[in-house]
Amino acid sequence: MDGVTSAVRGLTSAQVAEAKTNDVPRRSSRSLSAIIRANVLTLFNLVIGVLWVLILIFGEWQDSLFGLVIVANMLIGIVQELRAKRTLDKLAVVNEAPVIVRRDGEERQVPPRQVVLGDLILLGPGDRLLVDGEVVESDGLEVDESLLTGEADPVHKQPGDQVLSGSFAVAGTGSFVATKVGTDAYAVKLAEEASKFHLAHSELRAGVANFIKYITWLVIPIGALLIYSQLSNAVDLGTAITGAVAGIVTMIPEGLVLITSIAFAVGVVRLGRRKCLVQELPAIEGLARVDVLCLDKTGTLTAGGMDLDQVLPVTLDGSAADAALAALANLDGRPNATAQAIQVRHPAARDGWTARATVPFSSARKWSGADFGERGSWVLGAPDVLLRGGAAYDRAAELATSGTRVLALCRTDSLAATESGEAVVEPVALVTFKQRIRPDAHETLRYFAEQGVTVKVISGDNPVAVAAIATGLDIPGGDRAIDARTLPHDDPAKLGELLDTHTVFGRVTPRQKREFVAALQARGHTVAMTGDGVNDVLALKDADLGIAMGAGSPATKAVAQVVLLDDKFATLPHVVAEGRRVLANIERVANLFLTKTFYAIVLSLVVGVAGVMFPFAPRHSTLVNALTIGVPAFFLALAPTLERSKPGFVPRVLRFAVPAGVLCAVAVLVSFWAAHSGTSTLLQDQTSAVITLFLTTWWVLALIAKPLTWWRAGMVGAMAVVFAIGLTLPFVRDFFALEPGDIGNDLTAVGISILAALMISVAVKVAGTLRP
């Protein structure tokens, strides 16, 4: 007996000080060492490092500038990711729901990391189990273990039963003693990667990784061929090494990974300023692809909480309604929003109303109840679930048409029979609640309509009430609400068709929310799901993008990829806009870098097979790449845009980069060979090739920067001005080994560049990749 009493009182302060803590890595962040490794220890950095050393040994130091660019890239990448890490860590702390424990016989809230082995942890609806344990107290406690086992039905827990981390309470209250914490807990052992920073599937990152993989395999044989040809034909070893390095370095899209990381990191920081926690970086990509947004009415369209409005008797024996209502509302030590609204008017149960047995509320059954002995058994819940027609049913339906939330207060002959649907239920009163529409809901919904994102309102409430609110917010099709109980359960295709043609759904169960998400995904939609209640957890987990409200249940926030910490629905447009900005801009930048890669591959192949000199030196490519790719890429990667991303990132980039790169290479070779056939010096011939290379890649930049807003036009123009100034300043010409003295060669280079620019425009337009 003493052991039980001790367990119920919890640990003492002295025991807590000596116990093992629940120390687990945060899901949203990774360590400093991991960030440094990711930015420094890359294959491309190794290749470029070796080439840098070769130039320093055999060539001139001016040709080693590309090495300094790589160092700068690494530093910028590390700094930006550290900024994102700090933002994520700060927001993650805010997002962590405190755990209620009992220590020294008193209840207190502690951060999840301060839970210790042996702690007595209290549970209520929506609480996420962070550690494993053994149940000590249970008052109708039901735990959903579907995220661990796949079994959708909640499990009733009794004292002595085991509970596992990763599950969550859906009904009732109780407590358990922590038996495994930290990395010993079941969920952490089962899927450690799900509890810390990780990159879920991302078409963008997968596409970039594929580019890098294939380019790496191309660089090895083409680089070997280029080195052999340059050694065979060059006058001296230094010139051969310099020519080979120029081709290999240009083939490597060294800045593409950096710019991708920076764009993601800056997106995280920008969203963080709006109190939006991104728990998985690829969630930013998901934001850009979303075309269907599923909203739960409660907590999303309506503000959190509600107000008790009227208690309308429907029988002559309505005098006991207030007393029964007060008793039901004060049963649970962790009241839900409905009970809290009733408690404002009825803060305590009246004398003589002591419950002998209770059935806690759950989203699946949609009612709660208690047996009060001689005062009878009472239930409070959805009228269309408890009632079988009649005057009270009709009156409730009439009230719901105005958007009012209506519950039925009823007597029942048996709680167990009510749960099985076989009880005799007598309506006593209808209870109405006022719901507060979020002031920003109308404007936010209008934004999504303008952006081509279809909104679906999915609620557990009465379809008529949900339709009234949807209609008031001008949601298209809001007046044609569907009762989810009438939807097919065994025909996903039919369900998907109904979801496509209707907007508002009421009386949706948690299991149906998952079915809705799956049906929409099967029809090719990218689905975002918002929610705040425990009934939303499974659907959030299955959606392409789960968005939780900051005031939502801990379990909901744990599975969502994005959490709106300030609970503002109006933040969602900014979230979507940020995702679109990141993805569209990375695609632009990928076009730039891969155009460079493909023209370098063509140049290296032709030069290697023909056994001729490479048309420019590494310092030349450093200058041109900085002005047409490096500097513009930073601006383009961070620019605002409203374009919604579409699947097919890799094919679109290839359709642009391959023809543009090939034509740039052909133009450079023609220009170099035309100059080389005359009496000009090698330096003048290379200068003609550099002029052609700059003008053709500058034109590629102009195409990619479209639409040319004032700042984009200014950026493109500034790059041309800087290059022109560089050609006129003696010290710049000397540093970059440029000699634009042969007018004939230079004019030929300009003419070839104009012709190549026209051909590039036609080629990319035919390929269908030119941005409108």
- Residues 579 and 284 sit within 8 Å (Cβ to Cβ): yes
Cα–Cα nearest to 617, from 246, 225, 229, 238 = 246
Rounded CA separation 255/633 (Å):
9
Question: At a CB cut-off of 8 Å and minimum separation 6, what does 495 contact?
Answer: 487, 488, 515, 516, 519
Whose tokens are 């008052």? That residue is 139
* 121 contacts 99 by C-beta, under 8 angstroms: yes
Using DSSP's 3-state secondary structure scheme, residue 168 falls into strand
Which residue(s) pair with 482 in the sheet? Answer: 505
Q: Can you tell me the distance from the alpha carbon of 476 to that of 614, in angstroms, rounded to the nearest whole number?
A: 62
Q: Which of 504, 498, 495 is nearest to 455 (CA)?
A: 504
Quote the tokens at residue 314: 């429907």
One of 296, 332, 567, 685 is an active-site residue; which one?
296
Give the span between the Cα atoms of 275 and 128, in whole angstroms: 22
Q: Catalytic site residue 500?
A: no
Residues ≥6 apart with Cβ < 8 Å to 61: 55
Record the tokens describing residue 498, joined without a space. 């109904």
Residue 496 burial by Cβ neighbours in a 10 Å radius (0-12, 13-18, 19+): buried
Question: Is residue 21 classed exposed, middle or buried when 0-12, 13-18 and 19+ CB atoms within 10 A define those classes?
Answer: middle
How many Å apart are CA 358 and CA 167, to the nearest integer?
23
Distances (CA, A) of 334 to 100, 250, 338, 347: 11, 63, 11, 14
As given in the structure block, the two tokens for residue 546 are: 């789960």
| AA letter at 228 | Y
Contact 692, 667 (CB under 8 A): yes
Q: What is the identity of the amino acid at 198?
A: H
Q: Whose CA is closest to 546, among 43, 27, 74?
A: 27
The catalytic residue positions are 296
